[in-house]
């Protein structure tokens, strides 16, 4: 037991518990592991002797958590970006260290803010933890990857809360349940409270928040399986075009979707005969694909999606760009990285925050590109107009990792939050049809060239989350923190009177 009290051993164990959480996300979906990982963290933060000690404990857990969940950044930087291995590893650790500052902040605040000691673990620690998660998803354009609430979606009863309070709200419910049990696992009423939350979630899963419209629409999702090191190689340009022309000709769906930058060149540089062949292949059906577009000003270009069969419709241009991948946040500080990276078209211009869905017959299809589906608050901007969602991605940057599965799980969360089908068309994986309950109805395996043929449904109506966004979650966090502050004030007032 004395060995467990050693600071190095304690911090190593916290890091290991944080790292183990990666198994709670896709592709394994071992959701209970997140409960155990958070329980260890919350107990460690609540029992820390000082705010500084709590911050270090949060940092250790967070470092293990984010290295495990973001390990694929190394693959992007080194394997495909060409950065030296030692530098790519260092950048991955530094990024994980930055993200770990948020659970560290939660720990520091938990010991610093006034609160009744008996309420620190069951209420203050979990509320601050999820509040700092929200801050992580917002600050400096945000990076909400691997939010704890996502780990419970879509296969646990907590998924029932997603259409009501969103993924952050699910995270708050999860964190409070974990903290209640960690604080009094032998107290029957704590188990009863958690069981009530669980049963309520099961009941909410039975609610139809949105309404299907019209008959099912057939869709064809193309997956070219073009390696990242070949995608932008001019020597393979014709082969790339041939691949997606072949897939388009084989497609049978009313709506044919090809992934992000399926055409690896500016649309203005693509031969007219090729575009004509694509249109001829689909006839009177609809073809939507990813292609970079030049703007009107010098060095202005967009990561876009367009309806090639109806060029009168405005293209969708990616709004939320990837830091360090599609733009440099602070060139004076981070511009040096691009001396070591081989990233084509890394200076994209962001599109408008709100853009109209594509009109494809009876379908109003709202596009999102790459990791835009990580942001629930941005996806709901297309509602209520959109009847169907579609994500266009090229995840070949991370082949050999779980990144594609993790992002698909976030698409599952967006489907739940909006009550809409989400179609995913990717270059190498994970191409899938996700229904309005967040379940994967059909999928195409990784590293396969082919088409995913299936059906989707158009849905109308608005879930509570689509109406309120993250407002309900933020009000809940604010209410809990204010309530704790008031309770502490009352306690001190009674002590003064005595």
pLDDT of residue 328: 64
| Environment class of 213 (CB within 10 Å of its CB; exposed 0-12, middle 13-18, buried 19+) | middle
Give the model's pLDDT for residue 214: 95
Residues 246, 137, single domain; the answer is no
Q: Per the residue annotation, which of 133, 254, 260, 436 is the catalytic one?
A: 260
Q: Locate 350 and state its tokens.
A: 């962001």
Contact 230, 242 (CB under 8 A): no
Catalytic residue among 231, 318, 378, 436: 318
Same structural domain for residues 140 and 226? no
Whole-number pLDDT of residue 487: 79
- Domain co-membership, 236 together with 311: yes
**Are 402 and 26 in contact, with CB atoms under 8 Å apart?**
yes
Which residue ranges of the chain lie beneath pLDDT 50?
1
| 173 within 8 A of 160, measured Cβ to Cβ | no
Contact 168, 25 (CB under 8 A): no
Q: Is 456 helix (H, G, I), strand (E, B) or coil?
A: strand
- Per-residue pLDDT at 386: 98
User: Does residue 166 share a domain with residue 63?
Assistant: yes
**Domain range for 142:** 3-207+469-497
Report residue 348: phi and psi, to 5°: -65, 155
Is 370 a residue of the active site? yes
Q: What pLDDT shows up at residue 1?
A: 46
311 and 222 assigned to the same domain: yes
Judge if 291 and 361 occupy the same domain. Answer: yes
Pairing of strands 363-369, 211-223: unpaired
Question: How does strand 358-360 pair with strand 301-307?
Answer: unpaired
Burial class (CB in 10 A: 0-12, 13-18, 19+), 232: middle
- How far apart are the C-alpha atoms of 461 and 386, rounded to whole Å? 10
Looking at 91, 177, 370, 477, which residue is catalytic? 370
Are 321 and 454 within one domain?
yes
Q: Are 220 and 453 in contact (CB under 8 A)?
A: yes
Alpha helices in 113-185 (DSSP H): 117-119, 125-136, 162-183
Does residue 382 share a domain with residue 293? yes
Residue 424 near residue 393 (C-beta atoms within 8 A)? yes
For residues 57 and 11, the answer to whether their CB atoms sit within 8 Å is: yes
Q: In 3D, which of 33, 88, 95 has the Cα closest to residue 62?
A: 95
Cα–Cα distance measured from residue 42 to residue 64, given in angstroms and rounded to the nearest whole number = 15
398 and 254, same structural domain? yes
What whole-number distance in Å separates Cα of residue 29 and Cα of residue 202? 18
Inter-CA distances, 268 with 36, 214, 224, 245, 336, Å = 53, 37, 22, 18, 31
* Shared-domain flag, residues 380 and 476: no
Q: Assess whether 449 and 475 both reside in one domain.
A: no
Q: How far apart are CA 290 and CA 395, in angstroms?
A: 13
Report d(CA 188, CA 21) in Å as an integer.
27
User: Tokens in use for 361?
Assistant: 């017959």
Q: Which residues 6+ apart lie within 8 Å of 58 measured at CB?
A: 41, 45, 100, 103, 104, 105, 106, 107, 108
436: annotated active-site residue = no
Give the pLDDT of residue 228.
Answer: 87
Residue 332 has a pLDDT of 59
Residues 85 and 17 in one domain: yes
CATH of the domain at 430: 3.60.110.10
The per-residue pLDDT for 496 is 55
**Number of domains the chain is built from:** 2
Q: Which residue has the tokens 């195409």?
A: 444
Contact call for residues 128 and 55 (beta carbons, < 8 A): no
């Amino acid at each position: 037991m004395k060995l467990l009290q050693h600071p190095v051993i304690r911090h190593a164990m916290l890091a290991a518990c944080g790292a183990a959480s990666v198994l709670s996300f896709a592709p394994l979906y071992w959701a209970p592991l997140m409960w155990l990982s958070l329980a260890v963290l919350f107990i460690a933060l609540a029992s820390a002797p000082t705010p500084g000690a709590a911050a270090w404990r949060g940092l250790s857990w967070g470092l293990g958590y984010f290295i495990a969940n973001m390990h694929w950044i190394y693959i992007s930087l080194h394997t495909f970006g060409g950065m030296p291995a030692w530098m790519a590893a260092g950048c991955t650790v530094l990024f994980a260290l930055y993200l770990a500052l948020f659970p560290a902040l939660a720990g520091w605040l938990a010991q610093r803010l006034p609160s009744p000691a008996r309420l620190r673990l069951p209420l203050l620690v979990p509320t601050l933890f999820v509040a700092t998660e929200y801050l992580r998803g917002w600050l400096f354009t945000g990076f909400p990857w691997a939010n704890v609430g996502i780990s419970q979606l879509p296969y646990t009863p907590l998924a029932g809360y997603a259409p009501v309070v969103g993924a952050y709200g699910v995270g708050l419910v999860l964190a409070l349940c974990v903290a209640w049990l960690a604080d009094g696992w032998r107290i029957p009423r704590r188990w009863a409270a958690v069981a009530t939350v669980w049963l309520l979630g099961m009941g909410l899963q039975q609610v139809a928040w949105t309404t299907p419209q019209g008959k099912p629409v057939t869709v064809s999702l193309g997956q070219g399986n073009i390696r990242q090191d070949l995608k932008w190689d001019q020597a393979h340009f014709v082969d790339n075009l041939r691949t997606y022309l072949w897939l388009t000709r084989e497609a049978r769906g009313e709506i044919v979707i090809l992934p992000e930058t399926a055409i690896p060149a500016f649309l203005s540089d693509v031969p007219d005969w090729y575009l004509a062949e694509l249109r001829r292949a689909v006839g009177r059906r609809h073809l939507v694909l990813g292609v970079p577009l030049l703007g009107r000003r010098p060095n202005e270009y967009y990561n876009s999606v367009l309806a090639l069969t109806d060029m009168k419709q405005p293209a969708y241009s990616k709004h939320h760009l990837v830091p360090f991948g599609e733009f440099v946040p602070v060139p004076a500080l981070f511009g040096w990285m691009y001396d070591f990276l081989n990233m084509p078209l890394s200076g994209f211009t962001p599109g408008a925050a709100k853009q109209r869905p594509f009109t494809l017959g009876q379908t109003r299809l709202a596009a999102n590109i790459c990791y835009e589906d990580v942001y629930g608050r941005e996806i709901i901007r297309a509602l209520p107009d959109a009847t169907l969602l579609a994500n266009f991605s090229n995840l070949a940057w991370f082949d050999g990792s779980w990144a594609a599965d993790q992002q698909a799980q976030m698409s599952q969360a967006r489907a739940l939050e909006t009550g809409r089908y989400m179609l995913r068309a990717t270059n190498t994986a994970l191409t899938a049809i996700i229904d309005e309950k967040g379940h994967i109805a059909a999928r195409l395996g990784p590293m396969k060239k082919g088409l995913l043929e299936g059906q989707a449904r158009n849905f109308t109506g608005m879930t509570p989350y689509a109406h309120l966004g993250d407002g309900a979650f933020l009000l809940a966090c604010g209410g809990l923190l204010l309530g704790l502050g008031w309770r502490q004030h009352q306690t001190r007032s009674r002590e003064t009177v005595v």
